[in-house]
Structure 1
Amino acid sequence: MSKLFTNVYDPIMKPLETGGFGAIRENLLREATGRVLEIGAGTGVNFPYYDAAVEAVDAIEPDDDMRNQSHERVREATVPIRLHAVRAENLPFPDQSFDTVVATLVFCTIPHPTLALREIERVSKPGARVLFFEHVRLDQPALGKIQDALTPLWKKAADGCHLNRDTLGMIQQSKLDVTNVDSHYKGVFLTIHGNYPE
């Protein structure tokens, strides 16, 4: 990720966070319990929302600049948070390590999302909860085609973000049992709740 994009990410996102994203994150992360793995923690915007039900968070973020910007939020968090400079496709954790996995606004940029889902499955305990907040390709054909057309340019401007990625479809094809999907902003964003079989 470019340093310029990293430096402007939080200021660009601030109106969205105060206008609704923050409430979405807070409601979603109320469901996190036990030992938590956060995928693509970025600048740590989720960290203030973890509460006493969380034992500790292992937060992965491969981008050095993003990870460095998260240190203040780590210090201010009410739960222990450990940062790891690794990618979602190759997690350095033993099998069946986590009670909850969190991924927010990150699956659009993971180069190999199907592999990342397999790694999440590997490190999740039986019955583990997985919580996503992602933007997705719209179901409406005309709008979906617009996303398709804009994606090549958008990937360059937003450091690899795919506007048209069918993240929900990929999740549904994995071994995760999807228990609930909530639509936000006319379906551009979804919160996806799931569990692995016991």
Structure 2
Amino acid sequence: MSKTPVNHPIFARFYARISQMMEHHGLAELRQGLLADLSGEVIEVGAGNGLTFAHYPPTVARVLAVEPEPRLRRLAQAAADEAPVPVEVVGGLADRLPGKGQTFDAAVVSLVLCSLPDPAAALREMYRVLKPGGQLRFLEHVRADSPGLARVQDLLDATIWPRLAGGCHTGRDSAALIERAGFTMEHLERFLLPKVRTPVSFFILGVASRP
């Protein structure tokens, strides 16, 4: 398990700005779809600056939002104060989540699996804290569906991109990682955002469950 503190102050400032722009170009609607019909106790892993909070439906009783980066966590706390449901923002790492096993009805990740040092360990932790039958809701950018762009992603991920983008990897196959962690895939959509083919425009949105 990772024990390294997460501190990306330059990326956090950049992400706080660009994420607001992305909200106005379709991401807000995707977040709303991601959270539709959720209920009960939810853990959000890698909450960032808290842009997901505004979209939780009133059927959600409580959200425990885990964010390791200090600047983003402060922004998330401000967003939690305005959220339509109770949100508790805490520090923590995805591969060492707070909470006992089989505690939450749902786990949420949004643009998170790409940046984790060990996404497999993080998904095992989400599996651990979910109740049997609990859902994993995910919105992630993933590996390209063409060999040429996939090779570009591999080159970026092996060189400069993770350093510039807070550990982000453009070419991860997050759907496969979710299934390898033991989840059952219930719904999976693939799409481009924006609708042009670039190394970072391949997205998935879906629902998986803990059997």
Give TM-score, length-normalised by structure 1.
0.95
> Does structure 1 residue 192 correspond to structure 2 residue 206?
yes
Of 108, 129, 134, the match for 1:128? 134
Over the aligned positions, Cα root-mean-square deviation in angstroms equals 1.2
Q: For structure 2, which runs of at least 5 residues remain unmatched after alignment?
A: 1-6, 196-200
State which drifts further: 182-191 or 77-86. Answer: 182-191
Shift of 1:26: 0.4
Q: Does the residue aligned with 1:134 lie in a helix, a strand or coil?
A: strand
Q: Report the AA paired with residue 119 of structure 1.
A: E
Deviating 4+ runs (over 4 angstroms): none
**Aligned residue number for residue 19 of structure 2:** 13
**Aligned residue number for residue 165 of structure 1:** 172
> Does structure 1 residue 64 correspond to structure 2 residue 70?
yes
Aligned partners of 1:163, 1:46: CA distance in 2, in Å? Answer: 21
**Aligned residue number for residue 148 of structure 1:** 154
- Tell me, yes or no, if the aligned pair for 2:42 and 2:60 is still in contact at 8 Å: yes
**Aligned residue number for residue 98 of structure 2:** 92
Q: Report the AA paired with residue 90 of structure 1.
A: R
How many residues in Structure 1 have an aligned counterpart in Structure 2?
Answer: 197
Aligned partners of 1:118, 1:130: CA distance in 2, in Å? Answer: 12
Q: Does the residue aligned with 2:188 lie in a helix, a strand or coil?
A: strand
Aligned partners of 1:120, 1:16: CA distance in 2, in Å? Answer: 26
Aligned partners of 1:82, 1:147: CA distance in 2, in Å? Answer: 35
**Aligned residue number for residue 82 of structure 1:** 88
Q: What whole-Å deviation, never above 9, does each CA across 1:133-176 have from its counterpart, x for those lacking one?
A: 00101121111001111122111111110111111111121211
Of 103, 109, 114, the match for 2:109? 103
Q: Does the residue aligned with 2:115 lie in a helix, a strand or coil?
A: coil
Give TM-score, length-normalised by structure 2.
0.90
Q: What whole-Å deviation, never above 9, does each CA across 1:7-50 have from its counterpart, x for those lacking one?
A: 22122122321111110000111132100000000100100001
